[in-house]
Structure 1
Amino acid sequence: MTDPDLVRELLARWGVPANAAVTRTEHGTNNHTRRVVSGSRCWYLRVSPHRSADQVRAEHRLLAKLAKAGLPFAVPTPVALPDGGTVVDTARGPAVLCESIPGVPPDLSQEPALERFGRAAADLSEALAGIAPQDTPHEWQGGPLEVLPDLSSLARELVTAGLDIDQVRVLRNGADRTLAVWSKIAGRLPNQVVHADLARSNVLVDPDTGPVTGILDFELTGYWIRAIELTVALALSGAADGPGWQHRAAALARGGAWGTRLTPAELAALPDLMLVRAVASTVWRANRWQLGQSSLTEVADRLDVLAETLRWRSAEGGRLGDIVAAAGASG
C-alpha cells in the first residue's frame, strides 16, 4: 500500500476527515499499516496482501467475541462501514480500520514486566478457549510440518542466493529433529483456539504503571495445541534466550500460573514445541522469500534463531517444563 490516493479513498469510505494525518508504522512485515490521526481520534488502517477477505472477517468475529469476554485489556475494535461491514476488498488485499489502543510496547528485560506479559497471555488463552474454531482465520490442526517443502531444493536456492552452506544446513538438521519429536506430540495434547503470535510488538502496556492495556494482531489465530501459546510467548519475548533464561522463563510462567494451567504432558512437551515453532517459523519465512515477499536477510535471521534453538534444546532446554511447573503463581 504505497499509493496515497488509495489510502485517502479507503479512509473516506469510513468517514475519516480528509485532512487526517497519515504516517507509516515502524514494524510489521505481513501487512501494510498506517497510523491515522484526526484531532483527538486515532486509528490504524491495515491492508493485508496475503490474506483473504473471509479470513479477515473470521478474525473480526473472533474480536467481537473477545470484546465481550471480560478481558482486563483491550483487543482491536474494527470500525464499521456505513453498510455495517468491517472489510473493504481492494486489489491489494482486504482493508480494515481499527480504533487505536493506548499504550506502548513493553520493556521485557525485567521480571515484573515478564510476569505481567505471562498473565496477559494466560488471560487471553482462557478467553480463547471459549471461541469456536470456525470463528478464527486459520485451522492449524494439521500442524506446521504437515506439508514441508522440498528442503534440498530450498537449500540449494538459498545457497545460490548467497547464504553460507553451513547456515543453510541448519534447516535440514532442525527439520529432521522436529519431525522425530512431532510424531510424539501430534494428536496427544489438548487443543483450543490460540493467538499464536504473542510477540512484544503485539502487546501494549501503560508506560507509567506497566499493566497490559492491549493485545494486537490476531491474524494467525487458529485452532491448535493449547501449549503453543506459552511456547510462542517464551520464544518471542526473549524469556528463553541467553544467560539467565531460566529466571526470565520462570517469571513469565509465574505471572500466568502456567505451571498449573498446563497438564504434565504439555509441560513435558514444551522444549520440543520450542523447536517445532522455530522450524515452522524458518520454513514459513523461506517460503515467503521464494515468493518475493521476504528478504534473504530475514531468512538468515530465522536460520540463526533455529541454530540457537537447536543448541539450547540439546544443552539445557530440556529443563523448561520443570521450570514452568515449579514457577508457581505471583501474588
Structure 2
Amino acid sequence: MDDPKQPTEPVTKLLARWDIPAGAAVTLTGYGTNNRTLGVTTGDRRWSLRISQNLTSAQVQAEHRLLAQLAQAGLPFAVPSPVPLPDGSTVADTPGGPATLCEWIPGVQPDLSQEVALERFGRAAAELSSALTDVAPQDTPNDWRGGPLQALPHVAALARDLTAAGLDAGRAGVLRDGADRAVAAWEGIAGRLPTQVVHADLAASNVLVSQDTGAVTGVLDFEMAGYWIRAIELTVALALSGAAHGPGWPRRAAAVARGGGWGERLTAAELAALPDLILVRAMGSMLWRADRWRRGQSSLAEVANRLDVLAETLHWRTAEGGELGHIVAAAGR
C-alpha cells in the first residue's frame, strides 16, 4: 500500500475480496484527511476505497446503516454507496483499519469563492440536515452529545509536549487561551439546543459538484457523522467554507444561510449560539488533530495549522463574530 500507483500485494489482495482484478489502477485521491482514500479503476468501472484510521468496524457498519437510509431519502445528490462483499457485508477488516469500497460519485470539488456556489453549498447542507432528522443515534458512527471538549486533555501537558516537539511559544499560548474560552462558551451551550444526527464535516473537500453546471452531485465522508446539536451542520458549513472569516465574510455567510433558508430553519437560541459554536468547533478540531499527532497519524505542522485557525477564530469571535446570528437570520428576507 506504499505506492498506490503501483498496487502492492496487500492492496491487490484487499480488492480481490470484492472480486476486483489484480490489474486495476489504484491512485490516491484528494479526499479525506482522517483516513486513506484511493481511487480504483478497471475498464469503465470506478470505485473509491477508504481505509479508516479512526473508526472501528462496528462504527463503520453504523455509518453504512446511515448511508442506506439516506439512499432512500430522495436527496437531489448522491451519497456513498458501499459495495457488498461476497458474504453480504460491506466492511473488510485490515491491519490499517476497516476498509470500505464505494461506487464512484462523479463531480469535482466546488469553488466556494463565488456566492452562487456558497448558496448551493448551504442548500445541500440544509437538504442533508432534513434527511438526517429521522435517523436514529445508533445508526451513526459517533455520539457527540458530550461535545468536542468532553475528553479535554490536560492542556498544560499538551502544550508542553507540543513545545518540546518544536511548536513555538505563541501557538502554545493560543492553545491555552482557546481552551479557556471554548470551555466557557460550551458551558453556555451544552444541553440547551435541539439535537439530531448531523454530518458534522461539510467542507468543500467532502462535496462534489457538476463541472458543467455547478450543481451539487454528491456529499462524501460520513465518518464524523453522529448525534449532536442540529445547528452544528450550519456551523461547520460556515467555518469550513471560509464563509465566517476574512474580509467580506458577512456577505459570504449570508449566501450560505440564504441558500439553505437557515434563518428560518433554526430557533432564536440556535442563531444566538452560532458564534460560540464556531469557536467550540475550532477548538475541538485542534484537539482532534493533536490527538492524531500523539498517535503518530498527523504531523506537527498539521497541529500548528489548526492552532492558526483557532487563533483567527478567537480574534473573529472577539471583534465581529457576535453579528453572525443576526446575519443568518436576515439572509433571504
Partner AA of 1:270 in structure 2: L
SS of residue paired to 2:89: coil
Mapped contact 2:31–2:206 kept (Cα < 8 A): no
Partner AA of 2:103 in structure 1: E
Query: Any idea what the Cα deviations from partners look like across 1:91-146, whole Å, max 9, x if unmatched?
Result: 22111100000100000000000000000000000001110000000111111112
Question: Which of the numbers 49, 54, 58 marks the counterpart of 1:45?
Answer: 49
Question: Which of the numbers 245, 248, 265 marks the counterpart of 2:249?
Answer: 245
RMSD: 1.0
Partner AA of 1:258 in structure 2: W
Q: Distance in 2 between matches of 1:208 and 1:127?
A: 26
| TM-score, scaled relative to structure 1 | 0.98
1:258 and 2:250 equivalent? no
Gaps of 5+ in 2: none
Query: Any idea what the Cα deviations from partners look like across 1:41-74, whole Å, max 9, x if unmatched?
Result: 1001111133210010000000000000000000
Cα deviation, residue 27, structure 1: 4.0
Give aligned-pair identity as a percent.
70
Partner AA of 2:246 in structure 1: G
120-129 or 43-52: bigger deviation: 43-52
| TM-score, scaled relative to structure 2 | 0.97
1:276 and 2:290 equivalent? no
Q: How many residues align?
A: 329
Mapped contact 1:24–1:34 kept (Cα < 8 A): yes
Q: Distance in 1 between matches of 2:298 and 2:96?
A: 17
Q: Distance in 1 between matches of 2:37 and 2:187?
A: 39
Query: Any idea what the Cα deviations from partners look like across 1:127-181, whole Å, max 9, x if unmatched?
Result: 0111000000011111111221011011111111111112111111111111111
Question: Which of the numbers 175, 183, 202 marks the counterpart of 1:179?
Answer: 183
1:66 and 2:41 equivalent? no
Mapped contact 2:112–2:241 kept (Cα < 8 A): yes
SS of residue paired to 1:185: coil
Question: Which of the numbers 313, 329, 332 marks the counterpart of 1:328?
Answer: 332
Partner AA of 2:180 in structure 1: D
Q: Distance in 2 between matches of 1:49 and 1:157?
A: 23
Mapped contact 1:260–1:328 kept (Cα < 8 A): no
Partner of 2:197: 193
Partner AA of 2:36 in structure 1: H
Mapped contact 1:270–1:321 kept (Cα < 8 A): yes
Query: Any idea what the Cα deviations from partners look like across 1:227-263, whole Å, max 9, x if unmatched?
Result: 0000000000111121000000000000000000000
1:295 and 2:303 equivalent? no
SS of residue paired to 1:240: coil
Q: Distance in 1 between matches of 2:28 and 2:106?
A: 17
SS of residue paired to 1:65: helix
Partner AA of 1:238 in structure 2: G
Partner AA of 2:130 in structure 1: E
